[in-house]
Amino acid sequence: MKKSEPNQRLIIFLSIAIPLTVALMFRVKISGYDFSFLPPIYASINGLTAVLLIISVLSIKKGNRARHERLNKICLGLSGLFLVLYILYHITSDETHYGGAGILKFVYYFILITHIILSVVVIPLVLITFSRGLSGNFERHKRLAKFTFPLWLYVAITGVLVYVMINPYYK
Residue 27 in domain? no
Residue 3 in domain? no
The boundaries of the domain holding residue 164 are 34-169
CATH code, domain with 108: 1.20.120.80
* Domains contained in the chain, number: 1
Residue 14 in domain? no
The percent of the chain in helix, strand and coil, each rounded to the nearest 5, is 80, 0, 20
Residue 157 in domain? yes
**Length of the chain (residues):** 171
Residue 160 in domain? yes
Q: Indicate if the alpha-carbon torsion angle 68, 79, 52, 123 is positive or negative.
A: positive
Residue 81 in domain? yes
Torsion of CA 109, 74, 62, 137, to 10 degrees: -100
Residue 29 in domain? no
d(C-alpha 117, C-alpha 93), whole Å: 23
d(C-alpha 123, C-alpha 121), whole Å: 6
pLDDT of 49-98, one tens digit each? 999 999 999 999 999 999 999 999 999 999 999 999 999 999 999 889 99
pLDDT of 18-54, one tens digit each? 999 999 988 899 999 999 999 999 999 999 999 999 9
Residue 25 in domain? no
